Structure 1
Amino acid sequence: MTIDRVPVSGGHLAVETHTGTSEPILVVHGVSSQRMLWSWLRAESPHLTLVAPDLRGRGDSVDVTGPSSLAQHADDLDSVLDTLGLDAVHVCGMSMGGFVAVEFAARYPSRVKSLILVDGGVPVAPPAGLTQENVAAVFSDRIARTQQHWNDIGDYIEFLVSTSLPLLDPADPLLRTYAEHDLFDGSVRLSSDAVVADATDVFFGASRFRELTMPIRFLHAQWSVGTDSAPMYSSQIVDALDLTSITAMPGLDHAGTIMTAVGAAAVGETIDEAIDAGADGVGQFIDA
């Protein structure tokens, strides 16, 4: 495992590389997350070489200054590949990270061999009641964690599970590793401004999804937050897609698609398919 500090506009991104036997996969986390999101994938698919940045405003990159947006993240990822000497990679994005991956692929198509989108990236209408004016209120649980001091990691984990991760096991050691990376001296390393700006861009910005020509593999959860909640992607949206592959993830909510062994294993298998298809010169995209 190596950690690089990549120069970007406003500072340096922290980028962690876990070297396996595969070619490098650039993995992009979600709106209020950080690079330890991929701990479950590393556990289930240790052969994968994962290049995992903390996006600006999160984790070890929390102090990067300047506005946050999908386009800015895409430019940051371009800098990551430049610094690491990588010409083109498969890109896996989860949630908001999927939308960043799409923007990156649209801006720098020659750098993206294929996309693996995990419950994100595919255009979707804003949830009922969400407007550009109330994004901060809708994401209040994410923002609330930044406004408290956490003296006990157990208390912080309980807060995460009680608000946004209800189907996860508080005793999971990987969840503890994830939570520990969030905190520094009891404070959550997450920019509330970045959360609001990026969420606004996801739901109200102009998606470039339909410009893409590389293979796209899409995995989607049965629920959003907890059992029986409405999914981010309805059956109508999924049925209308015509991509390289579409994988349903029954029994999992949004977080569970990557923060559980079952979800991470499915993502790992899909990444393996993308790598194998690329090695065989196979893989086509049919416009949705």
Structure 2
Amino acid sequence: MSGALYHFGPYELDTERRRLSHDGEQVHVGPEALDLLCHLVEHRDRVVPARELLDAAGHGRADGDAALAGWLRTARLAIGDDDTGRRSIRTVSGRGFQFVARTTAAGTGPSRPTARGTGAAAEADREVIRFCRSADGTRIAYALTGEGPPLVKTANWLTHLDLDRATPMFAHWFDGLTRGRQLVRYDERGCGLSAWEMGSFTLDDLVGDLDSVVDAVGLDRFPLLGVSQGGAVAVAYAARRPERVSRLVLTSAYARGRLIRAGSDAERDAAEVDLSIARAGWRSQDSSFLRYVASQFLADATPAEWDAFAAYRRQTTSPANGARFLEEFARIDVSDIAHRVRCPTLIVHARDDARIPVSQALELATLIPDSRLVLLDSRNHLFTADDPAWPTFLSHLDTFLSE
């Protein structure tokens, strides 16, 4: 098979040059383990028998099972597989091994569908990850998923295009949002596959990043979805680019960050404490702090799910960037331009959202002229797959976009 450049998570595998990199830094791997990894990635659409792997890595040498086990262990360690459940190379009992991490091949379009996770079905939809440059030269990664009329989703804290759909907490979002349409999403500057050295980080920059993505995709007019703080960016974009946004959907969104909307000393103190706890968690990576933040996003989840959420977030960006995101979004404010949104707007919010109070949804509905408000019975800031509010949200979304 001819050489290609493959991306999975923070890793890049150049099968022609036989080079593995992690966030741009070369990972030194023994030749046998590297050959084994290349073979698995190139044949990721099937289970590779042990004998075939031994031939590919040992080049005909009869080293046996012990050598293969050693090479597999080396390859797994090189790409971050561990004993806590993270598995890019899956063992299929009695059959062999399969590479199951979501993978894109640079310059060759979307990867072939592969099974992900334990017993997961192969994905039938199409996805391709591409890159563009924002006005200030920042690299922005974006993805096209599914087929049909477009739905553009603004970036929100925090994402990683190459990992999101393999994360059980978010997989249902993509299944639901791509139902009969093509979802356009992107990683915010500073996280995921976009450039982590983000420099300036203003509302103007975030609006400019969205402009760059839709220009790269070739969209003139489209519906726009904003989730959480991505809702503020969506409001700003719709207000500034009314000719491009046909419909606006805001979910768990707000016009003013917590520090901005604090109206009393007690509220300002609470906002500062909340920000300090979250900042300490990101900088120290202390699990108790990170679990506190996770519990605000997923109020009805279990402690194990909070830990999984925190572990995922740690993969999306650096501690310094994570702290900076929190500080900037606590001060974001689009309340002075929300009245300029002219397109029909659907605002959906959980009545008991543990992260963003329902008063913020009421404020958005008051500020945006042609808006309708739907309140759902839930405590989750991000609707989970088993949350009764989730199918209700999708039903309202589908009805609104089809009008």
Q: TM-score range by the shorter chain?
A: 0.7 to 0.9
Question: Which residue is equivalent to 2:331?
Answer: 200
Q: Which amino acid aligns with 1:99?
A: A
* Change beyond 3 A, Cα 1:86–1:41: same
Native 8 Å contact 1:25 1:50 kept in 2: yes
* Aligned-partner SS, 2:233: helix
- 1:66 counterpart (199, 204, 222): 199
State the one-letter code of the partner of 1:219. Answer: V
SS in 2 for 1:139: helix
**Contact 1:119–1:220 (CA under 8 A) maintained in structure 2:** yes
The offset of 1:85, in angstroms, is 1.3
Further displaced range: 206-215 or 75-84: 206-215
The percentage of aligned residue pairs carrying the same residue is: 20
Task: Tell me by how many angstroms 1:70 deviates.
Answer: 2.2
2:246 equivalent to 1:120: no
- CA distance 1:136–1:70, change in 2 (3 Å): farther
Q: Which amino acid aligns with 2:324?
A: D
CA deviation map 1:77-118 (0-9, x unaligned): 000001111112111111211110010111211111110011
Report deviation, 1:192. 1.9
1:255 aligns with 2:382: yes
Give the drift of 1:149.
Answer: 4.3
Distance 1:45 1:120, change over 3 A: closer
Paired residue for 1:142? 278
Question: Is the contact between residue 12 and residue 64 of structure 1 (CA under 8 Å) also seen in structure 2?
Answer: no
Distance 1:200 1:247, change over 3 A: same
User: Is 2:190–2:317's contact at 8 Å kept on the other side of the alignment?
Assistant: no
Match for 2:301: what amino acid?
A: L
Aligned to 1:212: 341
Q: 1:135 to 1:66 in 2, by over 3 A?
A: farther
Q: Taking structure 2 as the reference length, what is the TM-score of the superposition?
A: 0.55
Contact 2:191 2:316 survives alignment (8 Å): no
Given candidates 373, 381, 395, the residue that maps to 1:246 is: 373
- Cα distance change on mapping 1:113 and 1:56 into 2, 3 Å: same
135 and 197 in structure 1: CA distance in 2 versus 1, 3 angstrom threshold: farther
**Rounded Cα–Cα distance in structure 2 between residues aligned with 1:76 and 1:239:** 26
CA drift of 1:247 comes to: 0.8
Whether the 8 Å contact between 2:232 and 2:254 is mirrored in structure 1 is yes
Q: Establish whether residue 14 from structure 1 lines up as the match of residue 141 from structure 2.
A: yes
Paired letter, 1:33 = L
Counterpart amino acid of residue 274 in structure 2? V
Normalised by the length of structure 1, the TM-score is 0.74
Structure 2: distance between partners of 1:161 and 1:121 = 19
Contact 1:221 1:249 (8 Å CA) reproduced: yes
Deviation at 1:172, TM superposition (A): 5.8
Q: Which residue of 1 aligns with 2:171?
A: 39
For 2:270 and 2:292, how far apart are their aligned partners in 1?
Answer: 23
Instruction: Identify the structure with bigger relative contact order (alpha carbons < 8 Å, sequence gap 6+).
Output: 1
- Give the direction of change, closer, same or farther, for the CA distance of 1:64–1:4 in structure 2 (3 Å limit): farther
Partner SS, residue 113 of structure 1: strand
SS in 1 for 2:359: coil
Of 397, 400, 403, 1:271 maps to: 397
Please give the alpha-carbon distance, in whole angstroms, between the structure 1 residues aligned to 2:338 and 2:316.
40
Q: Which structure has the greater CA radius of gyration?
A: 2
2:95 corresponds in structure 1 to none
Q: Deviations over 1:168-187 (max 9, x none)?
A: 245569x94x6555334996
Deviation at 1:123, TM superposition (A): 6.0
Match runs of 1:44-193 below 5 Å: 44-47=176-179, 48-61=181-194, 63-122=196-255, 126-128=261-263, 129=265, 130-131=267-268, 137-149=273-285, 158=291, 160-162=293-295, 164-169=297-302, 176=308, 181-184=312-315, 188=319, 190-193=321-324
Matched, 1:27 2:153: yes
User: What's the Cα RMSD here?
Assistant: 3.7
